[in-house]
Structure 1
Amino acid sequence: MTFPTMEVVSRLQGLLAGEWGLGTSMASLQGYYGLSPEATQEVAVGLVRAPAEFQEKAGSTRYPVIQTYCDQIENKRSEQFRAFSGRMRLVTEVRVSTDRLEGLAERLHFYVDAVRDVVERNAGCLGEGVFLEPGYEVAFEAVKKGGLNFLQVGRVVCWVGVSR
Protein backbone atom coordinates (compact mmCIF):
# COMPACT_ATOMS: atom_id res chain seq x y z
CA MET A 1 0.00 0.00 0.00
CA THR A 2 1.34 3.41 -0.91
CA PHE A 3 1.16 6.54 1.21
CA PRO A 4 1.14 10.26 0.44
CA THR A 5 4.38 12.06 1.32
CA MET A 6 2.33 15.01 2.58
CA GLU A 7 1.10 12.76 5.40
CA VAL A 8 4.59 12.69 6.92
CA VAL A 9 5.16 16.44 6.39
CA SER A 10 1.77 17.17 7.97
CA ARG A 11 2.70 15.12 11.03
CA LEU A 12 5.78 17.26 11.64
CA GLN A 13 3.75 20.40 11.03
CA GLY A 14 1.21 19.13 13.56
CA LEU A 15 3.95 18.62 16.15
CA LEU A 16 5.22 22.17 15.64
CA ALA A 17 1.77 23.79 15.68
CA GLY A 18 0.29 21.55 18.38
CA GLU A 19 -0.40 22.20 22.02
CA TRP A 20 3.07 21.01 23.13
CA GLY A 21 4.87 22.41 20.08
CA LEU A 22 6.46 25.77 19.36
CA GLY A 23 4.38 27.68 21.92
CA THR A 24 5.68 25.53 24.77
CA SER A 25 9.26 25.69 23.52
CA MET A 26 9.16 29.46 23.03
CA ALA A 27 7.74 29.97 26.52
CA SER A 28 10.57 27.95 28.06
CA LEU A 29 13.25 29.76 26.02
CA GLN A 30 12.00 33.34 26.62
CA GLY A 31 13.94 33.78 29.84
CA TYR A 32 17.19 32.54 28.37
CA TYR A 33 16.97 34.94 25.42
CA GLY A 34 15.59 37.79 27.57
CA LEU A 35 12.59 38.33 25.30
CA SER A 36 9.26 39.69 26.47
CA PRO A 37 6.09 37.72 25.74
CA GLU A 38 5.03 40.42 23.25
CA ALA A 39 8.26 39.92 21.28
CA THR A 40 7.55 36.23 20.78
CA GLN A 41 4.18 36.10 19.08
CA GLU A 42 2.62 32.82 17.99
CA VAL A 43 3.81 31.73 14.56
CA ALA A 44 1.88 29.79 11.94
CA VAL A 45 3.68 26.81 10.39
CA GLY A 46 3.22 26.60 6.63
CA LEU A 47 3.71 23.76 4.17
CA VAL A 48 5.14 25.62 1.21
CA ARG A 49 8.69 25.73 -0.12
CA ALA A 50 9.13 29.05 -1.84
CA PRO A 51 11.79 31.76 -1.74
CA ALA A 52 11.03 34.76 0.46
CA GLU A 53 10.82 37.02 -2.60
CA PHE A 54 7.98 34.94 -4.08
CA GLN A 55 6.03 34.84 -0.84
CA GLU A 56 6.36 38.58 -0.38
CA LYS A 57 5.11 39.23 -3.93
CA ALA A 58 2.21 36.80 -3.49
CA GLY A 59 0.73 38.62 -0.51
CA SER A 60 1.34 40.06 2.89
CA THR A 61 4.09 38.15 4.65
CA ARG A 62 4.23 38.36 8.42
CA TYR A 63 7.59 37.56 9.99
CA PRO A 64 8.79 35.28 11.42
CA VAL A 65 7.89 32.70 8.78
CA ILE A 66 8.20 28.98 9.49
CA GLN A 67 7.80 26.51 6.62
CA THR A 68 8.04 22.73 6.71
CA TYR A 69 8.68 20.64 3.60
CA CYS A 70 10.25 17.42 2.34
CA ASP A 71 13.26 17.82 0.07
CA GLN A 72 14.52 14.25 -0.23
CA ILE A 73 13.08 10.73 -0.15
CA GLU A 74 15.08 7.48 0.04
CA ASN A 75 13.27 4.20 -0.56
CA LYS A 76 15.80 1.52 0.36
CA ARG A 77 13.20 -1.28 0.25
CA SER A 78 15.09 -2.94 3.07
CA GLU A 79 11.98 -4.60 4.52
CA GLN A 80 10.50 -7.49 2.64
CA PHE A 81 6.84 -7.14 1.58
CA ARG A 82 6.88 -3.37 2.10
CA ALA A 83 6.25 -1.00 -0.79
CA PHE A 84 8.21 1.70 1.00
CA SER A 85 10.84 1.26 3.68
CA GLY A 86 13.19 4.17 3.82
CA ARG A 87 13.62 7.72 5.02
CA MET A 88 12.34 11.18 4.24
CA ARG A 89 14.36 14.29 4.88
CA LEU A 90 12.17 17.01 6.36
CA VAL A 91 13.27 20.63 6.52
CA THR A 92 11.82 23.30 8.77
CA GLU A 93 12.89 26.69 7.49
CA VAL A 94 12.72 29.73 9.78
CA ARG A 95 12.88 33.24 8.28
CA VAL A 96 13.26 36.31 10.46
CA SER A 97 13.22 39.87 9.17
CA THR A 98 13.70 43.25 10.84
CA ASP A 99 14.51 46.80 9.82
CA ARG A 100 17.75 46.76 11.85
CA LEU A 101 20.62 44.30 12.10
CA GLU A 102 20.69 44.49 15.90
CA GLY A 103 18.86 41.54 17.38
CA LEU A 104 18.20 39.78 14.06
CA ALA A 105 20.51 36.83 14.77
CA GLU A 106 19.21 36.47 18.34
CA ARG A 107 15.60 36.29 17.13
CA LEU A 108 16.54 33.72 14.47
CA HIS A 109 18.38 31.57 17.01
CA PHE A 110 15.40 31.82 19.37
CA TYR A 111 12.96 30.43 16.79
CA VAL A 112 15.42 27.81 15.50
CA ASP A 113 16.04 26.65 19.09
CA ALA A 114 12.27 26.36 19.58
CA VAL A 115 11.96 24.17 16.46
CA ARG A 116 14.95 22.13 17.54
CA ASP A 117 13.44 21.63 21.00
CA VAL A 118 10.19 20.29 19.49
CA VAL A 119 12.16 17.82 17.34
CA GLU A 120 14.22 16.67 20.35
CA ARG A 121 11.18 16.19 22.57
CA ASN A 122 9.18 14.28 19.94
CA ALA A 123 11.81 11.89 18.57
CA GLY A 124 10.29 8.46 18.20
CA CYS A 125 7.06 7.05 16.83
CA LEU A 126 4.78 9.59 15.14
CA GLY A 127 2.14 7.06 14.21
CA GLU A 128 1.75 3.87 12.23
CA GLY A 129 4.96 3.24 10.29
CA VAL A 130 6.43 6.74 10.85
CA PHE A 131 9.44 7.28 13.14
CA LEU A 132 11.16 10.63 13.81
CA GLU A 133 14.88 9.92 14.13
CA PRO A 134 16.57 11.58 17.13
CA GLY A 135 19.31 13.41 15.21
CA TYR A 136 19.01 16.68 13.29
CA GLU A 137 21.14 19.30 11.55
CA VAL A 138 20.92 23.08 11.87
CA ALA A 139 22.23 25.55 9.29
CA PHE A 140 22.17 29.34 9.17
CA GLU A 141 22.43 31.57 6.11
CA ALA A 142 24.07 34.97 6.08
CA VAL A 143 21.92 38.08 6.43
CA LYS A 144 20.67 39.46 3.11
CA LYS A 145 18.37 42.16 1.81
CA GLY A 146 14.72 41.21 1.94
CA GLY A 147 11.65 41.16 4.11
CA LEU A 148 11.44 44.30 6.25
CA ASN A 149 14.95 45.34 5.08
CA PHE A 150 17.14 42.54 6.48
CA LEU A 151 16.36 38.83 6.26
CA GLN A 152 18.09 35.82 7.78
CA VAL A 153 17.19 32.16 7.35
CA GLY A 154 17.86 29.11 9.52
CA ARG A 155 17.01 25.49 8.72
CA VAL A 156 16.45 22.49 10.97
CA VAL A 157 16.80 19.25 9.01
CA CYS A 158 15.61 15.94 10.41
CA TRP A 159 15.01 12.45 9.06
CA VAL A 160 11.81 10.46 9.37
CA GLY A 161 11.88 6.71 8.89
CA VAL A 162 8.86 5.32 7.06
CA SER A 163 7.83 1.70 6.71
CA ARG A 164 4.63 0.99 4.79
Structure 2
Amino acid sequence: MFHSTCLRTRFAEPGIWAHFARTLETTVMRSCYARTVHEALGNLRQWSRADRELIQRALERLYETHGHVRMEELAAHCGLSLRQFERRFKRRMGLAPKVFARLLRFEAARDALLQGQEADAIRFGYQDQAHLIREFSFWSGMTPGAFVERARQRAAQTQRPQRQHTFIALFLV
Protein backbone atom coordinates (compact mmCIF):
# COMPACT_ATOMS: atom_id res chain seq x y z
CA MET A 1 0.00 0.00 0.00
CA PHE A 2 1.26 3.49 -0.82
CA HIS A 3 1.85 6.02 1.88
CA SER A 4 0.66 9.57 1.26
CA THR A 5 4.23 10.90 1.49
CA CYS A 6 5.25 8.60 -1.34
CA LEU A 7 2.38 9.91 -3.42
CA ARG A 8 3.40 13.51 -2.88
CA THR A 9 7.04 12.91 -3.75
CA ARG A 10 6.33 10.67 -6.75
CA PHE A 11 3.42 12.46 -8.38
CA ALA A 12 3.24 15.99 -7.00
CA GLU A 13 4.18 17.82 -10.18
CA PRO A 14 2.34 20.89 -11.44
CA GLY A 15 -0.81 20.45 -13.43
CA ILE A 16 -2.85 17.31 -13.74
CA TRP A 17 -0.38 15.14 -11.80
CA ALA A 18 -0.72 17.29 -8.69
CA HIS A 19 -4.51 16.97 -8.84
CA PHE A 20 -4.18 13.22 -9.44
CA ALA A 21 -1.80 12.87 -6.47
CA ARG A 22 -4.16 14.77 -4.15
CA THR A 23 -7.13 12.67 -5.28
CA LEU A 24 -5.22 9.41 -4.89
CA GLU A 25 -3.84 10.47 -1.50
CA THR A 26 -7.33 11.33 -0.25
CA THR A 27 -8.72 8.04 -1.52
CA VAL A 28 -5.97 6.02 0.17
CA MET A 29 -6.36 7.89 3.46
CA ARG A 30 -10.15 7.45 3.46
CA SER A 31 -9.77 3.79 2.58
CA CYS A 32 -7.43 3.23 5.54
CA TYR A 33 -9.81 5.08 7.85
CA ALA A 34 -12.82 3.14 6.55
CA ARG A 35 -11.02 -0.17 7.05
CA THR A 36 -10.11 0.77 10.62
CA VAL A 37 -13.70 1.73 11.43
CA HIS A 38 -14.99 -1.41 9.74
CA GLU A 39 -12.62 -3.60 11.76
CA ALA A 40 -13.51 -1.85 15.02
CA LEU A 41 -17.23 -2.13 14.42
CA GLY A 42 -17.21 -5.34 12.38
CA ASN A 43 -18.44 -7.47 15.23
CA LEU A 44 -21.23 -5.06 16.17
CA ARG A 45 -23.88 -7.78 15.93
CA GLN A 46 -21.96 -9.83 18.46
CA TRP A 47 -21.78 -6.97 20.95
CA SER A 48 -23.94 -7.22 24.01
CA ARG A 49 -26.70 -4.66 24.41
CA ALA A 50 -24.81 -3.21 27.39
CA ASP A 51 -21.68 -2.68 25.27
CA ARG A 52 -23.67 -1.02 22.47
CA GLU A 53 -25.32 1.33 24.96
CA LEU A 54 -21.99 2.07 26.65
CA ILE A 55 -20.28 2.95 23.38
CA GLN A 56 -23.30 4.97 22.22
CA ARG A 57 -23.30 7.05 25.43
CA ALA A 58 -19.55 7.51 25.37
CA LEU A 59 -19.42 8.55 21.71
CA GLU A 60 -22.33 10.96 22.10
CA ARG A 61 -20.56 12.67 25.00
CA LEU A 62 -17.20 12.69 23.23
CA TYR A 63 -18.70 14.26 20.10
CA GLU A 64 -20.75 16.79 22.11
CA THR A 65 -17.59 18.03 23.82
CA HIS A 66 -15.28 17.62 20.79
CA GLY A 67 -13.13 15.38 22.98
CA HIS A 68 -12.77 17.97 25.72
CA VAL A 69 -13.95 15.82 28.62
CA ARG A 70 -12.12 14.20 31.52
CA MET A 71 -12.04 10.42 31.32
CA GLU A 72 -13.22 10.11 34.94
CA GLU A 73 -16.25 12.23 34.07
CA LEU A 74 -16.93 10.20 30.94
CA ALA A 75 -16.68 6.92 32.88
CA ALA A 76 -19.10 8.25 35.51
CA HIS A 77 -21.44 9.41 32.72
CA CYS A 78 -21.45 5.80 31.47
CA GLY A 79 -21.92 4.39 34.98
CA LEU A 80 -18.58 2.58 35.21
CA SER A 81 -15.31 2.87 37.07
CA LEU A 82 -12.52 4.50 35.09
CA ARG A 83 -10.57 1.27 34.64
CA GLN A 84 -13.61 -0.75 33.59
CA PHE A 85 -14.72 1.98 31.18
CA GLU A 86 -11.27 2.23 29.56
CA ARG A 87 -11.01 -1.55 29.19
CA ARG A 88 -14.47 -1.98 27.64
CA PHE A 89 -14.13 1.04 25.34
CA LYS A 90 -10.75 -0.14 24.05
CA ARG A 91 -11.97 -3.71 23.58
CA ARG A 92 -14.88 -2.53 21.42
CA MET A 93 -13.45 0.50 19.63
CA GLY A 94 -9.87 -0.65 19.17
CA LEU A 95 -8.30 2.36 20.87
CA ALA A 96 -8.36 3.94 24.30
CA PRO A 97 -11.03 6.59 24.98
CA LYS A 98 -8.33 9.18 25.72
CA VAL A 99 -6.76 8.61 22.30
CA PHE A 100 -10.19 8.95 20.69
CA ALA A 101 -10.74 12.21 22.61
CA ARG A 102 -7.33 13.51 21.49
CA LEU A 103 -8.25 12.78 17.89
CA LEU A 104 -11.56 14.65 18.21
CA ARG A 105 -9.81 17.68 19.74
CA PHE A 106 -7.33 17.66 16.86
CA GLU A 107 -10.14 17.44 14.31
CA ALA A 108 -11.94 20.40 15.90
CA ALA A 109 -8.75 22.49 15.74
CA ARG A 110 -8.05 21.38 12.16
CA ASP A 111 -11.59 22.22 11.03
CA ALA A 112 -11.34 25.67 12.63
CA LEU A 113 -8.08 26.33 10.80
CA LEU A 114 -9.59 25.22 7.49
CA GLN A 115 -12.45 27.67 8.05
CA GLY A 116 -9.99 30.53 8.57
CA GLN A 117 -10.36 30.72 12.35
CA GLU A 118 -7.49 30.85 14.80
CA ALA A 119 -6.52 27.70 16.66
CA ASP A 120 -6.86 28.98 20.21
CA ALA A 121 -5.43 26.33 22.56
CA ILE A 122 -7.85 26.91 25.43
CA ARG A 123 -10.88 26.80 23.13
CA PHE A 124 -9.93 23.29 21.99
CA GLY A 125 -9.12 21.95 25.45
CA TYR A 126 -5.34 22.30 25.52
CA GLN A 127 -3.41 23.74 28.45
CA ASP A 128 -1.43 26.12 26.27
CA GLN A 129 -0.35 26.78 22.70
CA ALA A 130 2.66 24.46 23.00
CA HIS A 131 0.38 21.51 23.80
CA LEU A 132 -1.84 22.35 20.83
CA ILE A 133 1.16 22.52 18.49
CA ARG A 134 2.55 19.24 19.82
CA GLU A 135 -0.78 17.42 19.39
CA PHE A 136 -1.38 18.95 15.97
CA SER A 137 2.08 17.88 14.85
CA PHE A 138 1.49 14.38 16.22
CA TRP A 139 -1.71 13.85 14.22
CA SER A 140 -0.92 15.79 11.05
CA GLY A 141 2.85 15.67 10.85
CA MET A 142 3.11 19.47 10.70
CA THR A 143 2.54 22.54 12.83
CA PRO A 144 -0.77 24.43 12.58
CA GLY A 145 0.96 27.24 10.68
CA ALA A 146 2.46 24.84 8.16
CA PHE A 147 -0.92 23.13 7.81
CA VAL A 148 -2.67 26.43 7.02
CA GLU A 149 0.04 27.33 4.50
CA ARG A 150 -0.25 23.95 2.80
CA ALA A 151 -4.05 24.26 2.67
CA ARG A 152 -3.68 27.70 1.04
CA GLN A 153 -1.23 26.33 -1.52
CA ARG A 154 -3.55 23.45 -2.36
CA ALA A 155 -6.50 25.81 -2.72
CA ALA A 156 -4.48 28.03 -5.06
CA GLN A 157 -3.40 25.03 -7.17
CA THR A 158 -6.91 23.69 -7.50
CA GLN A 159 -8.38 25.09 -10.67
CA ARG A 160 -11.77 23.43 -10.47
CA PRO A 161 -13.96 22.68 -7.48
CA GLN A 162 -13.43 19.24 -6.04
CA ARG A 163 -16.34 16.87 -5.77
CA GLN A 164 -17.79 16.73 -2.28
CA HIS A 165 -18.11 13.24 -0.85
CA THR A 166 -21.10 12.25 1.22
CA PHE A 167 -20.54 10.14 4.29
CA ILE A 168 -23.24 8.15 6.02
CA ALA A 169 -23.48 8.74 9.75
CA LEU A 170 -22.87 5.63 11.81
CA PHE A 171 -25.30 4.99 14.62
CA LEU A 172 -25.11 2.17 17.10
CA VAL A 173 -28.53 0.72 17.72
TM-score (norm. length: structure 2):
0.24
User: Could you say which structure has the higher strand fraction?
Assistant: 1
Larger relative helix fraction: 2
* Higher Cα radius of gyration: 2
Task: Using structure 1 for the length normalisation, give the TM-score.
Answer: 0.25
